[in-house]
Amino acid sequence: MQQLENYIAGQWVKGSGKGTDLFNAITGEAIYRADATGLDFAMMLAYGRNTGGPALRKLTFQERGRMLKALAFHLLAKKELFYQVSAATGATKIDSWIDIEGGIGNLFAYASLRKQFPDETFYVDGELAKLSKTGSFNGHHICVPKEGVAIHINAYNFPVWGMLEKIAVNLLAGMPAVVKPATVTCFLTEVVTKEIINSNILPEGALQLICGSANGILDHVTSQDVVTFTGSAHTGAKLKSHPNIISESVPFNMEADSLNAAILGPDAIPGTPEFDLFVKEVSKEITVKAGQKCTAVRRIIVPENLLEAVQIAICKRLASTTIGDPAIEGVRMGSLAGLEQLKEVKEKVKLLQSSQQLVYGNLDEVKLLGADQKKGAFMSPILFLNDKPFENTDCHNIEAFGPVSTIMPYQHLTDAIALSKLGKGSLVCSIVTNDQKIAKEFVVGAASYHGRILVLNNECAKESTGHGSPMPLLTHGGPGRAGGGEEMGGKRGVLHYMQRTAIQGSPSMLTAITNQYQIGAIQQEKEVHVFRKHFEDIEIGETVVTAKRTITEADIVNFSNVSWDHFYAHTDSTSLDGTIFDGRVAHGYFILSAAAGLFVDAKKGPVLLNYGLDECRFTKPVYPGMTIGVRLTVKEKMDQEKRDEHDVAKGIVKFLVDVYDETGETVAIATILTMVKKRMDI
């Protein structure tokens, strides 16, 4: 039997105790031993704070994102090894795909998210707040990485995805992690972690691993640490109330198992694509990962007149599901993760059976292919019928964390909404309907009790990721029973590991701190036009003040003819009565084009192309006879990596374009992006 190792302070070490035996969920054979006895958790956290944290905080968001991308490619190349080990958890090929490649997909997603962040070690959040009459005193918000460790206490059902979906976020934020997977399946997490460490892609101290009990680790957390927990609401509540969590005000994010619901819309009758989609989706949620998903459908809520049809259709699909050893061709459902989980699920099923009718499955017998029920952690899918769901409420309070679900009727959509809320908060809810009014009524009515709502119909079914799949760039969490937390969530998730701090000062001082030009800051004119400079030589706040141009009626007419924009305010001076205009007005896009004509240096140089336009506003009408000028100011710079050895070394420069009239008042303002070549092609 192989003893698993823990990764602590840059070393792989074994525990000093007897440990816990881990078993192959299919054969019942003891295959590993996990032990974390004797680990110095205080030293572990200190190592993350003092070694991993500083190394990550030195990197910019762009560098951290590229690091995640490299790690994703490395793990993808090793996936076959992970699949081999994953089979011992009872997972089928599809189950393992969700866990392994789904987890790696999170790394790719957060690597791409770097494009929403600056080329800095910190993030400037939101817009400038003007705090004074003249604009000499303003405020802003800056987000910097917390100087602690992200401690991830994960569930047993997704030993790879559970780790990667979380560390992708904290690593992009610039914070190291200690991962504590659930012991029963931690052998798969250990294999993946060893590949991560061996790759040398992450800075030392950025990731540590505990295979075994981490009892006592919360005694050493500080206010700069972040704790995340995935698992039962009962365990999560105990951890969240730890005295040190409370006294140190440690951020604690909980994602708890919940009684998720799937609702069939009254329009989705037999014969419609939506009816078939519903049956397929619900059946899949019962059997994928043998129902061991925090997002699995536990309550099936259908129109009263369709109850029998839905029940028959689901039972038929469940009956066609082959259960057994995932290594055998044709097996569609494997085992639970272990015998302890099997025992717990059976206990919960017996509790549920006391208040509702069993309509499919056998708690004691299951037909298997290539496996022995006496050795493996197998069980039959279980479907209950609850014909009085407002009276018999066990199904809204008791969760069997396995292939178990309850079907129940509703009369009106308001009843379906009410039933979905009886779960007291869920990670996800879905409604299958092709009626937009029904979809809107349900979503608006039920959203306060659910972290995510999938609206499924034939239009999106082909590309839908399904009820049970949270997406990296959307929040994953839910209110009430679901824990009240949010994991992932794109930029929101990253900011969870950062401290948002308000900063106040003069525009020039805020510009110097944020490295982003703030309106009102000192603008520096240089002898050399900014378009003649390479990316490295351009400075934040550097400004080009252009010559001026008087706008004529001929300009407006010519632009109308070129653009085909013959909007009345530009072309018909007889139609202006009752409008806000005093006469024929210049097109806003002409003013912007004219501004470009003023600030562009036409000769060939380091500027490669115009990359885009952000935040464009036309703030004052420009009439014939008015004169405009432009102040073009370097607002922000973002480095870009080369796609390959033949690519040009370059970066993106954001310019603030301030177009003003002869009175000095701004008539148009925008941010343009240019792609600028670097001086050194490296």
Class of the domain covering 2-257+492-499:
alpha beta
Look-up: residue for tokens 């790394």?
A: 107
Angle (deg, nearest 10), helices 161-173 and 93-113: 10
**Residue with the two structure tokens 């001929």:** 554
Residue 672 host element (H or E) = strand 666-677
Map out the domains of the chain as residue ranges. Answer: 2-257+492-499, 260-471, 523-677
pLDDT at 92: 95
Angle at which helices 93-113 and 61-77 cross, to 10°? 160
DSSP-derived secondary structure letter, 324:
B
Angle at 455 between CA 451 and CA 459, to 5 degrees: 150
Which pLDDT value is given to residue 45?
A: 98
Rounded-to-10 torsion of CA 134, 137, 139, 145? 150
Q: Which residues are catalytic?
A: 255, 294
Q: Report the pLDDT value the prediction gives residue 680, as an integer from 0 to 100.
A: 75
Mention every residue, 6+ apart, whose C-beta is less than 8 A from residue 153. 180, 214, 227, 228, 229, 230, 231, 239
Q: How far apart are CA 399 and CA 347, in angstroms?
A: 10
The bridge status of strand 524-525 relative to strand 542-545 is: parallel
Please name every residue paired with 415 in a beta bridge, in sequence order, or none if there are none. none
pLDDT of residue 682: 53
User: Is the pTM above the cut of 0.85?
Assistant: yes
Query: Which strands, in side-by-side order, build the sheet including 138-145?
Result: 123-130, 138-145, 498-505
Half-sphere exposure of residue 581: CA atoms within 13 angstroms, side-chain side: 19
| pLDDT of the residue at 639 | 87
- 523-677 topology per CATH: Thiol Ester Dehydrase; Chain A (3.10.129)
Q: Which two tokens stand for residue 80?
A: 């076959």
The amino acid that residue 509 corresponds to is M
End-to-end distance of the chain based on CA atoms, in angstroms?
Answer: 50
DSSP 475-540: EE--SGGG-S--EE-THHHHHTTEEEEEEEE-HHHHHHHHTS--TTS--EE-SS-GGGS-GGG--T
SS3 (DSSP) at 142? strand
Distance of alpha carbon 491 from alpha carbon 283, whole angstroms: 33
The answer to whether residues 657 and 672 touch, using CB atoms and an 8 Å cutoff, is yes
- Write out the CATH class of domain 260-471: alpha beta
> How far apart (Å, rounded) are the C-alpha atoms in residues 221 and 534?
47
> Quick check: 260 and 477 in contact, CB under 8 A?
no
Assigned token pair, 495: 């900011």
Residue 99 is predicted with a pLDDT of: 96
- Angle between helix axes 186-199 and 61-77 (nearest 10 degrees) is 120
Angle at 390 between CA 385 and CA 393, to 5 degrees: 70
CB under 8 A, 24+ apart: contacts of 193-201: 193/7, 193/163, 194/7, 194/12, 195/74, 195/75, 195/78, 195/81, 196/71, 196/74, 196/75, 197/7, 199/70, 199/71, 199/74, 201/67, 201/70, 201/71, 201/74
In SS3 terms, 209-274 reads as ECCCCCCCHHHHCCCCCEEEEEECHHHHHHHHCCHHHHHCCCCEEEEECCCEEEEECCCCCCCCHH
Backbone torsion region of residue 27, taken as left when φ is above 0, otherwise alpha when ψ lies between -120 and 50, otherwise beta: alpha
* CA 145 – CA 135 distance, rounded (Å): 29
Instruction: Give the whole-angstrom CA distance, residue 59 versus residue 51.
Output: 14
Among the listed residues 102, 92, 112, 77, the one whose alpha carbon sits nearest the alpha carbon of residue 160 = 102
Element (DSSP H or E) covering residue 635:
strand 627-640
The parts of the chain modelled with pLDDT lower than 50 are none
- Give the distance from CA 447 to its chain's centroid: 19
The two tokens of residue 299 are 């309550």
Q: Two tokens at 538?
A: 């351009």
What CA–CA distance (Å, rounded) separates 67 from 87?
A: 29
pLDDT at 681: 62
